[in-house]
Every structure is written in structure tokens, then in C-alpha cells.
Amino acid sequence: KQEVTQIPAALSVPEGENLVLNCSFTDSAIYNLQWFRQDPGKGLTSLLLIQSSQREQTSGRLNASLDKSSGRSTLYIAASQPGDSATYLCAVLGYQKVTFGTGTKLQVIP
């Protein structure tokens, strides 16, 4: 059974810092990996998707990497802003099932 872990569970940083969120998974037979953000009480906003054949994807200040062999993905946020405060979730997509991590709650302090 796929297990997905996100560390740290919570993170507080001053505005402007670069930061890295981690996602690790136990079964490397994945289709792709998707990163989401979720604001309190809200739905999921897709940030980046990395296909299993790719090693990284970039969108604006966000960069996500994938290392299937080691079962890890990282989400890099450059020059963090207060508006980045949210919970960040990674989801590992198999052909049939999807497994989410429990998320990293990020607070960016002005």
C-alpha cells in the first residue's frame, strides 16, 4: 500500500525566504505526482504536476522535482510572500489509486 509522508507538518518563515517542502512515498511505481495548495476551508488548487518520466516542473516562483528511485519529491518556493500561506499537499497518482500526504501548513510572516 502506498504511503505518502510530508515533512515538516508546519513551517513558519519570514517573507522573502526561499523554502523547500518535502514529500516522500514508499512505492516508486507511480504515474505522476501532483502538488496542490489549500486555503483554510477551501478546495484544492493544482500547482504543479510532474509525470513519472520527468524530473522537474516549474511555474513562476514554484519548482517541483521528482526522484522516483528514492521516493521523493520537493516543492521549492522562491521569495516567499504572505499570500503563499496555505497548506500544501502532494498527491501520488497510480494508474488506479491516488494517495495524498497529510500536508505542510505554511505561514509566511510579513
Partner 1 sequence: EAQVTQNPRYLITVTGKKLTVTCSQNMNHEYMSWYRQDPGLGLRQIYYSMNVEVTDKGDVPEGYKVSRKEKRNFPLILESPSPNQTSLYFCASRVLKGLSSSYEQYFGPGTRLTVT
Binding region for partner 1 (CB under 8 A): 1, 31-32, 34, 36, 42-44, 46, 49, 51, 89, 91, 93, 96-103
| Cβ distance to partner 1 smaller for residue 102 or 107 | 102
CB-nearer residue toward partner 1: 2 or 63? 2
Q: How far is the CB of 11 from partner 1 (least distance, A)?
A: 17
Give whichever of 89 and 108 is closer to partner 1, judged by the CB atom: 89
Grid coordinates representing 105?
A: 501548513
> What is the spatial distance between Cα 43 and Cα 49, in angstroms, rounded to a whole number?
17
